[in-house]
Amino acid sequence: MPILGHDMLRVEFEKLKIGGGRIEVSLRPTIENLRLGEMPLPSGRVKGIEVDVRYDVLYSPEVARASIKLRVFYVPRDKEKIDEILDEWEEKKVLPGELVAEVVNYTTSELMPLMMHLAKEMRIPYPVPLPRAVVKE
């Protein structure tokens, strides 16, 4: 897996008002910045890309607001492409699809347990629907 770890930088959850009725929730991960980085491992230092990600949870109507910012350490499968990816980001703000997919999937799977726990404690709607059992007659 090309992601070796992450650092959580900021977590904000805010309950705005108590609402009733249908509440829609949408997740919006946004890659804000990329930079060259290194990570120390037992086998030595690894060169890679530090990816700054902001993960927003939007509620409609606006009963709550949530935002998490984290830094993900990404190493492409072809390590020779690190400079190419960073150059393309600096020039055009364009990212390879593989990087976006890996980062979004990783952050979603890592953050969802935390978001579910905080939503439960604050008594706001969960960011993803839970499966419900239904009794059929």
Tens-place pLDDT, residues 47-97: 999 999 999 999 888 889 999 999 999 999 888 889 999 999 999 999 998
Residue with tokens 């839970």: 130
Give residues with Cβ within 8 angstroms of 91, minimum separation 6: none
How many domains is the chain built from? 1
Within a domain: 33: yes
Determine whether 98 is exposed, middle or buried from the number of CB atoms within 10 Å of its CB (0-12, 13-18, 19+).
middle
3-58 tens-digit pLDDT:
999 999 999 999 987 767 788 889 999 999 999 999 888 888 889 999 999 999 99
Domain span including residue 110: 3-122
Whether 133 maps to a domain, the answer reads: no
Q: Hey, CA dihedral for 77, 82, 85, 86, is it positive or negative?
A: positive
Count CB-CB contacts under 10 A for residue 65.
Answer: 15
With respect to residue 136, please indicate whether it lies within any of the assigned structural domains: no
Q: What is the pTM of this model?
A: 0.83
